[in-house]
Amino acid sequence: MRPPMHSIWKGFAAVLLLSSLSSPAQQTLPILVDGEPLIEYQAEPIANPKGGDAFKGSHFIHPLKTPSGFVITQIQPNDHKHHFGLWWPWKYIETNGRKVLCWELQRGDGIIQAAESKQLDNGLITSSHYIDRKAKGGPVVLLHETTTLTASAITEVPLTGYNLDLSIAQKSATDQPITVSTHHYSGFSIRATADWNKTNSTVLTSEGKDRHTANGSQARWVRIEGETPNVKTAGLLMMSHPSNQAHPEKLRTWNQQHDGAIFINFNPVADTDWVYQPDKTYTRNYRLFIYDGALSEDNADALWNSYATGS
Amino acid sequence: MKRRKFLKQSFVAGSASLILPSLSFGASPKNDTMRLAQIGTGRMGLGDMKNAMAVGTKPSVNARVVAVCDVDSNRVEVGKQNVEKFYRERGESQVEVKSYSDYRDLLARDDIDGVIISTPERWHALIGIAAANAGKHIYLQKPLTYSIAEGQALINAVRANNIVLQTGSQQRSSVYFYQVCTIIRNNWLGKLEKIEVEVPTDKGKMFAEPSDAPANLDYDMWLGPAESTPYIEAGVHPDQDFTRPGWLQREEFCLGMITGWGSHMYDIAQWAMGTDHDSGPVEISAKGDFPDRGIFDVHVGYEGEALYANGVRMTSRNGSAGVRFLTENGWAYCSRGAFKCSDMELLRRRPTADEVSLYKSNNHMADFITSAREGSDPICPVEVGHRSNSICVLHHASMKLGGRNLKWDPQQEVVVGDQEATDVINVPMRSPWII
Task: Look at the alpha carbons of B157, B159, B163, B168 in this order and tell me if their dihedral is positive or negative.
Answer: positive
pLDDT digits (tens, 9 = 90+) for B270-315: 999 999 999 999 999 999 999 999 999 999 999 999 999 999 999 9
Instruction: Give yes or no for B353 touching A (CB within 8 A).
Output: no
Q: Is residue A23 over pLDDT 80?
A: no
Share of chain B above pLDDT 70, in %: 93
Closest CA to B151 of B431, B425, B432, B379: B425
pLDDT number for residue B32: 85
Residue of B180, B352, B358, B362 for testing the chain A interface, max A β-carbons within 10 Å: B362
Q: Determine, for residues A242 and B347 on separate chains, whether the beta-carbon distance falls below 8 Å.
A: yes
In B, minimum Cα distance to A285 occurs at: B348
pLDDT number for residue A189: 98
Specify the length of chain B in residues.
Answer: 435
Pairs of CB atoms within 8 A across A/B: 34
Lowest-confidence region among A81-95, A245-259, B27-41, B341-355: B27-41
Q: What CA–CA distance (Å, rounded) separates A220 from B104?
A: 43
List, as one string, the DSSP characters of chain A: ----HHHHHHHHHHHHHTGGGS-TTT-EEEEEETTEEEEEEE-SPPSS-TT-GGG---S-EEEEB-TT--B-B-B--TT-TT-BSEE---SEEEETTEEEE-S-GGGSSEEEEEEEEEEETTEEEEEEEEEETT-TTS-EEEEEEEEEEEEPPPB-SSSSEEEEEEEEEEEESSSS-EEE---SS-SSEEEB-TT--TTTEEEEETTS-BTTT-TT-B-SEEEEEEE-TTS-EEEEEEEE-TTSTTSSPEEEE-SSHHHH--EEEEETTSSS-EEEPTT-EEEEEEEEEEEES---HHHHHHHHHHHHHT-
Task: Look at the alpha carbons of A94, A98, A99, A102 in this order and tell me if their dihedral is positive or negative.
Answer: negative
Chain A positions touching B362 (Cβ under 8 A) are 302, 305-306, 309, 311
Residue of A243, A245, A274 for testing the chain B interface, max B β-carbons within 10 Å: A243
Question: Strand B406-409 to strand B283-288: parallel, antiparallel, or no bridges (unpaired)?
Answer: antiparallel
Burial bucket for residue B181 (CB in 10 Å: 0-12, 13-18, 19+): buried
Chain B positions touching A247 (Cβ under 8 A) are 338
Minimal Cβ distance to A285: which of B58, B337, B348: B348
Confidence of residue A256 (pLDDT cuts 50, 70, 90): confident
Q: Which residue has the higher pLDDT, A10 or B118?
A: B118
pLDDT digits (tens, 9 = 90+) for B66-92: 999 999 999 999 999 999 999 999 999
Element (H, E) at B133: helix B124-133
pLDDT number for residue A24: 41
Q: Is residue B5 over pLDDT 60?
A: no
Q: Is residue B178 over pLDDT 50?
A: yes
Instruction: Give yes or no for B354 touching A (CB within 8 A).
Output: no
Q: Is residue A2 over pLDDT 60?
A: no
Residue B20 amino acid letter: L
Q: What is the mean pLDDT of residues A45-72?
A: 96
pLDDT digits (tens, 9 = 90+) for A263-282: 999 999 999 999 999 999 99
Q: How far is CA B384 from CA B16, B157, B390, in A?
A: 30, 15, 10
pLDDT number for residue B31: 59
Residue A220 amino acid letter: R
Chain B positions touching A302 (Cβ under 8 A) are 362
Chain B positions touching A311 (Cβ under 8 A) are 360, 362
Q: What CA–CA distance (Å, rounded) separates B77 from B93?
A: 19
Q: Which residues contact A34 (CB under 8 A, 6 or more apart)?
A: A67, A153, A154, A162
Say whether the peptide bond before residue A177 is cis (omega within 30 degrees of 0).
no
In B, minimum Cα distance to A220 occurs at: B337
pLDDT digits (tens, 9 = 90+) for B214-225: 999 999 999 999
Chain A positions touching B363 (Cβ under 8 A) are 305
Chain B positions touching A283 (Cβ under 8 A) are 344-345
- Rounded to two decimals, the pTM is 0.84
Q: Is residue A31 over pLDDT 90?
A: yes
Q: Determine, for residues A309 and B179 on separate chains, whether the beta-carbon distance falls below 8 Å.
A: yes
Cβ proximity of A290 and A161 under 8 Å:
yes
Confidence of residue A229 (pLDDT cuts 50, 70, 90): confident
Q: What is the mean pLDDT of residues A238-245?
A: 96
How many Å lie between the alpha carbon of B264 and the closest alpha carbon of chain A? 20
Q: Determine, for residues B344 and A241 on separate chains, whether the beta-carbon distance falls below 8 Å.
A: no
Instruction: Give yes or no for B191 touching A (CB within 8 A).
Output: no
Minimal Cβ distance to B362: which of A242, A243, A302: A302
Closest CA to A276 of A59, A89, A95, A91: A95
* CA dihedral of residues B227, B241, B389, B273 (deg, nearest 10): -170
Q: Determine, for residues A302 and B175 on separate chains, whether the beta-carbon distance falls below 8 Å.
A: no
Helix (H, G, I), strand (E, B) or coil at B100: strand
Strand partners, A240: A286
Q: What is the mean pLDDT of residues B175-192?
A: 97
Instruction: Give yes or no for B345 touching A (CB within 8 A).
Output: yes
Report chain A's mean pLDDT, rounded to a whole number. 91
pLDDT digits (tens, 9 = 90+) for A218-228: 999 999 999 99
Minimal Cβ distance to B348: which of A243, A302, A306: A243
Confidence of residue B337 (pLDDT cuts 50, 70, 90): confident
Closest CA to A254 of A185, A173, A165: A185
Q: Is residue A21 over pLDDT 50?
A: no
pLDDT number for residue A231: 75
CA triple B78-B84-B90, angle to 5 deg: 140
Helix (H, G, I), strand (E, B) or coil at B214: coil
Confidence of residue B194 (pLDDT cuts 50, 70, 90): very high
pLDDT number for residue A308: 92
Q: Is residue B27 over pLDDT 80?
A: no
Chain A positions touching B175 (Cβ under 8 A) are 242, 305, 308-309
pLDDT number for residue A310: 81
Closest CA to B112 of B52, B45, B168: B52
HSE of B103 in the Cβ direction (CA atoms, 13 Å)?
29
Q: What is the mean pLDDT of residues B11-28?
A: 35
Q: What CA–CA distance (Å, rounded) separates A52 from B146?
A: 73
Chain B positions touching A308 (Cβ under 8 A) are 175
pLDDT number for residue B30: 52
Instruction: Give yes or no for B59 touching A (CB within 8 A).
Output: no
- 3-class DSSP string for B280-309: CCCEEEEEECCCCEECECCCCCEEEEEECC
Please, where are the H alpha helices in B311-405? 364-374, 382-400
In B, minimum Cα distance to A244 occurs at: B344
* Residue B286 φ/ψ, nearest 5 degrees: -155, 140
pLDDT number for residue A84: 98
Instruction: Give yes or no for B176 touching A (CB within 8 A).
Output: yes
Chain B positions touching A248 (Cβ under 8 A) are 337-338
Q: Which residue has the higher pLDDT, A311 or A144?
A: A144
Q: Determine, for residues B175 and A242 on separate chains, whether the beta-carbon distance falls below 8 Å.
A: yes
Q: What is the mean pLDDT of residues B169-174?
A: 96
Closest CA to A236 of A287, A180, A271: A287
